[in-house]
């Protein structure tokens, strides 16, 4: 008998989970409270960074797994969702060396460039210290990727129900009942990948950690003649050395060069979005004016998305009974989309233990008199 699974949340994680579950023979219903292509959460827009450069080798491996998944998805759908442009990390040398060490340990080619050499290669960016380059990086088209993941899921028999708000999730030994404003869904298991709305849905069923939801405000800038198209790598500017501001990320996109601060937005209720903050935009424009000469700083067009951040900035991908949760992607989860789907499918269909990096029990406080090991 096929396992019946309801997946709540049709962003990148939920859509990838629906694809991988349906591909493995599960009977899947993917439900989302918003319409197709909405901009209410964290999976919309034309650009997300794809990169391997993490100091934690688990993420380097997960990125490699995701790359294979993105390539498979493109082959299935005939739609280009990933473009490899390479990526540069620059700024504090103490932040760069652990990245290089982790890449080397997983045999991902990378090398250092001095600022002058990097500046000649990428005149749209200004560098103050050594630059770490790795070619197996680039950008994912977010809207296209989510749509293609959902198409792959439906081609394997999954159903998608949009504009259905989940009111409650009930479990008992006989199965799961997911009550929506459009009716009742019954299944053997449920996967909750609802972004900033996950806590409210899974709270009665598992000890979900405190999640901080912030509204981030990157902006798109028009390119000038010194850098166009694939000449732009994805880039991370690490604070330290000659730069003392917040961490900065950026990449080219169909909408211009996207630049943003990482995780500095105000904490909000996800149902109450705020207008663009002029002070945040001014700070971003000042950074662009000084460090990114390849764009016109006067052309900033702010956009917004949500971060759902865990206390340690690592993900939550775990299962308790009939409830599997995938959340807390902390502003860096999109690139791993297909691999997140794999992890969820293994939890649901194989009862495989969660990766300790993503397990719920890492947040539990030991009882007094016990020792954490």
Q: What is the DSSP string of 171-224?
A: EETTEEEEEETTEEEEESEEEE--GGGHHHHHTTTS-PPP-EEEEE--EEE-B-
Q: Check residue 366 and give its pLDDT.
A: 52
Residue whose C-alpha is closest to residue 282's, from 264, 302, 252: 302
Do 151 and 285 fall within a single domain? no
Residue 180 lies in a domain: yes
- In this predicted model, what pLDDT tens digit does every residue of 176-193 receive, in sequence order? 999 999 999 999 999 999
**Residue given tokens 């308790």 in the structure block:** 320
Tell whether the model's pLDDT for residue 207 goes beyond 50.
yes
Following CA atoms 129, 130, 136, 137 in sequence, which dihedral angle do they give, to the nearest 10 degrees? 0
One domain for residues 120 and 190: no
Task: Retrieve residue 174's tokens.
Answer: 């006989």
> According to the model, what pLDDT value does residue 365 have?
57
- pTM for the predicted model, two decimal places: 0.95
Residue 111 and residue 227 in one domain: yes
Q: How confident is the model at residue 203, as a pLDDT?
A: 85
Token pair of 108, please?
């991902």
The chain-wide mean pLDDT, for the chain, equals 94
At 84-138, the pLDDT tens digits run 999 999 999 999 999 999 999 999 999 999 999 999 999 999 999 999 999 999 9
Phi-psi region of 86 (alpha: psi -120 to 50; beta: other; left: phi over 0): left
User: Do 314 and 332 fall within a single domain?
Assistant: yes
Residue 35 lies in domain: 1-83+140-208+310-362
Average pLDDT estimate for 27-47: 96
Q: How far apart are CA 42 and CA 145, in angstroms?
A: 13
Residue 233 lies in a domain: yes
Can you tell me the distance from the alpha carbon of 338 to that of 71, in angstroms, rounded to the nearest whole number?
10
Do 264 and 216 share a structural domain?
Answer: yes
């Amino acid at each position: 008998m096929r396992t019946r699974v309801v997946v709540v949340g049709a962003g990148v994680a939920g859509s990838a989970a629906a694809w991988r579950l349906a591909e493995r023979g599960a009977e899947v219903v993917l439900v989302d409270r918003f319409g197709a292509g909405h901009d209410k959460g964290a999976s919309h827009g034309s650009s997300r960074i794809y990169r391997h450069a993490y100091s934690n080798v688990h993420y380097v491996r997960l990125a490699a797994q995701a790359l294979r998944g993105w390539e498979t998805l493109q082959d299935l759908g005939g739609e280009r969702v990933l473009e490899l442009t390479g990526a540069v990390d620059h700024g504090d040398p103490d932040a760069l060396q652990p990245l290089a060490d982790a890449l080397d340990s997983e045999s991902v080619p990378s090398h250092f460039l001095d600022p002058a050499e990097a500046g000649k290669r990428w005149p749209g960016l200004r560098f103050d210290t050594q630059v770490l380059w790795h070619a197996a990086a680039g950008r994912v088209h977010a809207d296209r990727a989510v749509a293609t993941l959902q198409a792959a899921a439906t081609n394997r028999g999954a159903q998608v129900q949009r504009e259905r708000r989940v009111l409650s999730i009930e479990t008992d030994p006989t199965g799961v009942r997911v009550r929506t404003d459009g009716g009742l869904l019954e299944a053997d298991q449920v996967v909750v990948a609802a972004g900033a709305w996950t806590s409210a849905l899974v709270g009665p069923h598992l000890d979900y950690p405190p999640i901080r939801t912030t509204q981030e405000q990157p902006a798109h800038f028009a390119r000038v003649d010194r850098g166009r198209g694939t000449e732009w790598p994805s880039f991370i500017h690490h604070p330290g050395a000659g730069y003392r501001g917040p961490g900065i990320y950026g990449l080219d996109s169909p909408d211009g060069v996207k630049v943003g601060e990482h995780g500095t937005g105000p904490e909000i209720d996800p149902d109450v979005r705020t207008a663009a903050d002029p002070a945040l935009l001014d700070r971003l424009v000042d950074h662009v004016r000084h460090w990114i000469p390849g764009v016109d700083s006067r052309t900033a067009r702010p956009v917004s998305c949500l971060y759902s951040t865990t206390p340690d900035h690592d993900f939550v991908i775990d299962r308790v009974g009939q409830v599997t949760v995938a959340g807390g992607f902390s502003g860096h989860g999109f690139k791993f989309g297909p691999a997140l789907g794999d992890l969820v499918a293994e939890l649901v269909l194989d009862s495989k233990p969660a990766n300790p990096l993503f397990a719920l029990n890492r947040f539990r406080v030991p009882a007094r008199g016990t020792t954490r090991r």
